[in-house]
Structure 1
């Protein structure tokens, strides 16, 4: 979840580290910290966002630095818990992404040896452990590798020492990428920070790297040197800004019609080749988390309805419980925006242990997930910077629909529907419609609860709409299948409670309208998202009539409503509290 960066650059490390951390802020913005080496190691850190810090604020020049932007897992959001963390002698500084699962045991043993801890983090055990092993080992690298062998969990770590001109780093289950140019060396948890690197190399799990005048990579356990190769950095020219929009979230919502149009133009051969993998598998599992799980749930319905084929959708964090059904004929289909979600990567490793084939749908072609997969489909959404996923979600649904239609032998019809969806989505951004959404947001701005209802394909729409509302506006929102109302949730309805009902002109239309009437009868303020108005609705949000893929149209109104609710409550829609874009811890 956190972001780390390390730089060796003659007198330019400070600027490069700060710039890199600002690009990593989407990974966590509880606090930030930087360690810069000159004649000694100088630490700068604070709670809040690195985006508010300028290079001139840090009065030092340095050729070596490491930095960190934090999403808190162990220890509260305080300056003391911000990285970097140091050893007792103040000679070693460490930044870390991930979780040290056995940190309590390590900390207790180190305290018995006289080490003093000043934070509540798991990270702080690392510099103390290295300090302890330096008493026994011949050099810093050997002590670092010994310390790494004691750590349990997934992590990436960067370390600098007062007595060394090198950066040491390691990865185990979390992404880490190396970059170089003629005069500088970089190490980072995300390629996004490596715009100055001419060449890059993705480090493999279980490796430790020594970066100095020369670069060497070793296996953590055996200590054997590993070969590595550089590739051209094609990310050099990419620069992502919000453009004319105040926030990335609004920009990314508006980008969706054009992205869906791109998907309608995707290579038919690629779609049909991958559809054949699904058709011929002996069991297909969709695995995903959060918003991507909701896309996968839509996919499950699409395959059932169009291809008459059952696929299993499983939360990635629970997937290991189903490993008993995996064989070398099984197809695992992970769905992810970042390609770095820890639970998704673990699911892939479980499947690979059973020799199952991996066909992934991912928005980041340079991700760990892409490198672990046998076949990769890339959603053409482009970088998604806002923490809330919007355009990746609709991209995933559109591609899943094309795959389902290709399995059914009707790719041409699928392509036609996606083209229509792109045109219908654009109508949502009519200025009158946006003003209507703003007024609705103002009307329900101060409510404590919002509920969402859907059936069939739009059950997932209800879940995703509720997620968007609660994660950005902090209004408690819950999504339910319309048929589940009478099994308990209807008890939550009070006079004036907003209930958003997603309706399509499909086979479950009458049932979901009946559910809408049930909550209205108990005082709910019913907001209908539907192609046609109905007397049941207290407020009607008009959407296009495309029952084949109605969630693609219905979710846009919910995304925009959540945005306006967030703005109305004076919150930052790009960076909600307690969240991070890439969930790299379990």
Structure 2
């Protein structure tokens, strides 16, 4: 969602903040802003992208500053609603990621006490609350107002007569980078990579007072120490490397992401946890939810273990009976709904496992154990290599439960992914680019693969797409099939091959153009469909991977044909850190 950066040290803050905000562009946003401490608080903010408006910020001076990219929650995207927000006298500035749930009541009380508001945002109440408490001690003022805030927040605050930044976190990520007589702050590690490899992850409830040569962290009124951790990524990992879009680069990085995740294996503690589980519940959102559904089909059929999959956004309000191992799946490790579900599972004394790409993220600190994906930085909003790395981690769990039965399959699966990256799909792209509606269908594990294919298509091409279990089309959706409604069908050799082929013929009889994904050499399938895309004839686990990659490429090239903004689709954010 929103992105935060902060800097205090020996450099001019503005160039550091601008570069940091550019690193956070992948999160998705509608406006940006910067505030620095010069002779006074200096603020520049506007709607749009920082790459289009950074020239206006270069006049800000000072070695202390905060910046923000906003994904609107309260108030429409506008220059006024953009962060940072200031108090009445414009001597205090704050940036904030999260949602202040009781802001309406706080705002009403502040207005009754004479405060004037300029924006529609929930964040502005924070600046006015600090104003009432501030007597020269910024840390004390922030400490005093935090108990009044209900909701989630990552906050950076500065004041014109204070040579420090105060940071606070509750249910929203905030990372500090430690340099040489300088400190950086950000929503995630990507803005820090150019400057330091040493980071501190703040915990929920932490408040930090930051100067260039001193960092003090408080929790519950007491001074605490948080460990300094080393970042394993480098800035080169976040660059396009000659590709037109980050998404295409990340699609092509998938063989390596899968291989590295499989090669890393599973710790003995996680192995023991998996082997002792009588049943498994997975909690996830979006693309991660689809990987969890794929795991359910594969684990129940290959391992005979009961698996339940729950949406994180529903879990908090409609909590199922919980027994056995609970696995939280989150690319960022900061997905608000998944974190809430994980905490509930902990409260019910269930063993918990986090699968994430971000070491040090919130889910890794809550869960009993962590299974780390090895995808590296993923910049494009649409998940691709993190999806494949999640599947690698989940397939490795299946392999453990099956006592290594799929060691050889998984160790060579990346080669099959490499093969399909070279697949020619132009004819299918041309058909999809002309469509207003597309159906994606499959059976068994290919049903959630189809759901993910539909999600990718609508995410980045804005073409309406729906994923269905193929047998369900007759129960209503058949009414929508026409000669202008393409169907993308996954039909590979498995127990449902015959009935899937029959479903395809039924759809074809309704004049729907059929794009089929099947295995090399399947001439029977190729003859009954309009466009045939072959994938290697391999193990079921690998076919799930290769079919997924074909659907990613289909969505990507369709979006390019329609001239969409592939890496930054409208209205979407990379990491959903608010409920």
TM above 0.5, yes or no, is yes
Question: Matches of 1:224 and 1:266 in 2, distance apart?
Answer: 38
Q: Which residue of structure 2 lines up, in the alignment, with residue 285 of structure 1?
A: 281
Question: Matches of 1:383 and 1:310 in 2, distance apart?
Answer: 33
C-alpha spacing 1:149/1:57, structure 2 compared with 1 (3 Å)? closer
Tell me if structure 2 keeps the 8 A contact 1:15–1:55: no
C-alpha spacing 1:184/1:346, structure 2 compared with 1 (3 Å)? same
Alpha-carbon distance, 1:237 to partner: 6.4
Alpha-carbon distance, 1:54 to partner: 4.7
Question: Matches of 1:182 and 1:226 in 2, distance apart?
Answer: 22
Q: Provide Cα deviations, 1:120-173, integer angstroms capped at 9, x if missing partner.
A: 211111111212334xx6743322222211111111011111121111110001
C-alpha spacing 1:11/1:406, structure 2 compared with 1 (3 Å)? closer
Q: Which residue of structure 2 lines up, in the alignment, with residue 257 of structure 1?
A: 255
Q: Which residue of structure 1 lines up, in the alignment, with residue 501 of structure 2?
A: 513
C-alpha spacing 1:486/1:232, structure 2 compared with 1 (3 Å)? closer
Aligned residue for 2:75, secondary structure, equals coil
Question: Matches of 1:338 and 1:184 in 2, distance apart?
Answer: 26
Segment drifting more, 557-566 vs 534-543: 534-543
2:338 aligned with 1:339: no
Segment drifting more, 233-242 vs 380-389: 233-242
Aligned residue for 1:99, secondary structure, equals strand
Tell me if structure 1 keeps the 8 A contact 2:515–2:533: yes
Given candidates 536, 545, 548, the residue that maps to 2:537 is 545
Question: Matches of 1:386 and 1:495 in 2, distance apart?
Answer: 33
Question: Matches of 1:511 and 1:272 in 2, distance apart?
Answer: 42
Question: Matches of 1:176 and 1:57 in 2, distance apart?
Answer: 24
Question: Matches of 1:228 and 1:377 in 2, distance apart?
Answer: 22
**What 5-or-longer segments of structure 2 have no aligned partner?**
none
Tell me if structure 1 keeps the 8 A contact 2:483–2:511: yes
Tell me if structure 2 keeps the 8 A contact 1:337–1:392: yes
Given candidates 483, 486, 496, the residue that maps to 2:484 is 496
Q: Which residue of structure 2 lines up, in the alignment, with residue 203 of structure 1?
A: 202
Q: Which residue of structure 1 lines up, in the alignment, with residue 571 of structure 2?
A: 578
Q: Which residue of structure 1 lines up, in the alignment, with residue 389 of structure 2?
A: 395
Q: Which residue of structure 1 lines up, in the alignment, with residue 358 of structure 2?
A: 364
Aligned residue for 2:564, secondary structure, equals coil
Question: Matches of 2:376 and 2:480 in 1, distance apart?
Answer: 40
Q: Provide Cα deviations, 1:320-370, integer angstroms capped at 9, x if missing partner.
A: 35656336xx32111111111111111111111122222221112232212
Matches for 1:299-310 after TM superposition, within 5 Å: 299-310=295-306
Tell me if structure 1 keeps the 8 A contact 2:484–2:513: yes
State the aligned residue count. 572
Given candidates 538, 549, 555, the residue that maps to 2:548 is 555
Question: Matches of 1:236 and 1:565 in 2, distance apart?
Answer: 31
2:297 aligned with 1:297: no
Question: Matches of 2:281 and 2:558 in 1, distance apart?
Answer: 36
**What 5-or-longer segments of structure 1 have no aligned partner?**
none
TM-score w.r.t. structure 2 length? 0.94
Segment drifting more, 334-343 vs 530-539: 530-539
Alpha-carbon distance, 1:182 to partner: 2.1
Question: Matches of 2:229 and 2:472 in 1, distance apart?
Answer: 52
Question: Matches of 2:259 and 2:91 in 1, distance apart?
Answer: 55
Q: Which residue of structure 2 lines up, in the alignment, with residue 107 of structure 1?
A: 107
Flag as ranges the 4+ runs of structure 1 deviating above 6 A: none
Given candidates 229, 238, 241, the residue that maps to 1:240 is 238
Q: Which residue of structure 2 lines up, in the alignment, with residue 62 of structure 1?
A: 62
Q: Which residue of structure 2 lines up, in the alignment, with residue 117 of structure 1?
A: 117
Q: Which residue of structure 2 lines up, in the alignment, with residue 142 of structure 1?
A: 140
Question: Matches of 2:472 and 2:5 in 1, distance apart?
Answer: 47
Q: Which residue of structure 1 lines up, in the alignment, with residue 322 of structure 2?
A: 326
Question: Matches of 1:540 and 1:272 in 2, distance apart?
Answer: 44
Tell me if structure 2 keeps the 8 A contact 1:18–1:55: no
Q: Provide Cα deviations, 1:204-226, integer angstroms capped at 9, x if missing partner.
A: 1012111125322223xx43333
Alpha-carbon distance, 1:22 to partner: 1.2
Aligned residue for 1:171, secondary structure, equals strand
Matches for 1:207-222 after TM superposition, within 5 Å: 207-212=206-211, 214-219=214-219, 222=220
Question: Matches of 1:138 and 1:428 in 2, distance apart?
Answer: 62
C-alpha spacing 1:429/1:43, structure 2 compared with 1 (3 Å)? same
Question: Matches of 2:438 and 2:518 in 1, distance apart?
Answer: 18
